[in-house]
Amino acid sequence: LAALVHLAETTRLLKSSGHRCVLIMAGDFNSLADELVYGTTDDFWQCAEVAAVQPPLRRPPAEMPIVNPPVPSLACRSGDDGGVLNLLCETADEGVLRHASGSAEVSCSRAGSSMVIDFVFVGTVACEDGVVTKPLVIAAAEDYTRAAEENFGIYNAIMQWGSDHLPVGAEISAAQSAGMKSKQWCQCL
């Protein structure tokens, strides 16, 4: 939340000075995508993404407190089938930073289970043409499978990638007509 508040304040200043920019927020969010939307409420536990994690996540005992969705909201889903994850950022064009690294091919970014907790989000400020993003699948399918193993996944990931996190990334191209040079960015963890 603090990072989004800071980002909104900074972009508000840029916008009021007539500047435009591409916003990239990326890294280890230490939560599944739907946890950013629902906290650990019943809605979270009913999500297909949560049910698909292997080894299965264990629901806390009933007497344990749940984590409600953040207030104000940090994220939402848009589109069909649960839709694209968006971080809410009031000063960004369209009010959101879109999940740019999401790909069905990326099944694990945190070794030891089949969960993705690392993300690249992209948005713009004062750019009519916006940006085009494409997930960048850096690891091979077998790397994700080996890293997701319950017993030796962390070892496998460290030996292959030097970390217990597998890389995620996105290609990001800004429109030339927005006064920006076309660029490709890759964020790896």
Q: What is the pLDDT of residues 109-152, one digit of tens each?
A: 999 999 999 999 999 998 877 788 999 999 999 999 999 999 99
Contacts of residue 111, defined as CB under 8 A and 6 or more positions apart, other chains included, come to 147, 148, 153, 154, 156, 157, 158, 164, 165, 166
Mean pLDDT of 164-169: 93
pLDDT tens, position by position, 14-69: 889 998 888 999 999 999 999 999 999 999 999 999 999 999 999 989 899 999 99
User: Which sign does the torsion angle of CA 45, 31, 147, 155 carry?
Assistant: negative
Q: Which of 80, 78, 98 is nearest to 89 (CA)?
A: 98
Mean pLDDT of 80-109: 89
Q: Where are the beta strands (DSSP E) in the chain?
A: 21-28, 75-78, 84-88, 96-99, 118-125, 131-136, 169-174
CA 114, 118, 120: angle at the middle one, nearest 5? 135
Residue 38, pLDDT score? 93
To which residue do tokens 């994850």 refer?
A: 85
- 167: tokens are 């890389």
Instruction: Please list the residues that pair with 27 across neighbouring strands.
Output: 119
CA 4, CA 143: separation in Å to the nearest integer? Answer: 32
Higher pLDDT, 23 or 81: 23
User: What's the Cα-to-Cα distance from 10 to each of 27, 117, 137, rounded to whole Å?
Assistant: 19, 26, 31
Residue 81, pLDDT score? 61
pLDDT class for 189, splitting at 50, 70, 90?
A: very low
Residue 183, pLDDT score? 52
pLDDT class for 188, splitting at 50, 70, 90?
A: very low
Instruction: Please list the residues that pair with 96 across neighbouring strands.
Output: 88
Backbone angles phi, psi at 120, to 5 degrees: -120, 120
